[in-house]
Amino acid sequence: MSCAERLLQEKRELKQKYLFLIEDSYNHKQIDQAYSDLSEFKAIQVLNRINELKFVVTDSQFSL
């Protein structure tokens, strides 16, 4: 697996993690505000990493 393919795989995994954290944050919004805020904060950190990877590798470089 080349470096670009590994970065693309990391980007896909981060997207899945981001979606999970956002959904988790939304689901806990009314139950536990602190937990919701923590999930949202983690999701923002993951999104920042995804945006960093956009400069290195794009989805359109590879046809899977």
pLDDT tens for the chain, 64 residues: list them.
788 789 889 999 999 999 999 999 999 999 999 999 999 999 999 999 999 988 877 765 554 4
| Domains of the chain: total | 1
State which residues form the domain around 27.
7-56
Residue 2 lies in a domain: no
Element (H, E) at 54: helix 33-56
Which amino acid is located at 31 in the chain?
A: I
Residue 43 lies in a domain: yes
Residue 62 lies in a domain: no
- Pull the structure tokens for residue 35: 């937990």
> Residue 61: its pLDDT value, please?
58
Q: How far apart are CA 49 and CA 56, in angstroms?
A: 11
- Contact indicator for 14, 50 with CB cutoff of 8 Å: yes
Which pLDDT value is given to residue 62?
53
State the pLDDT at residue 12: 93
Please tell me the pTM assigned to this model: 0.82
64 belongs to a structural domain: no
Q: Which two tokens stand for residue 53?
A: 């990877």
> Which of 9, 11, 1 has its CA nearest to residue 55?
11
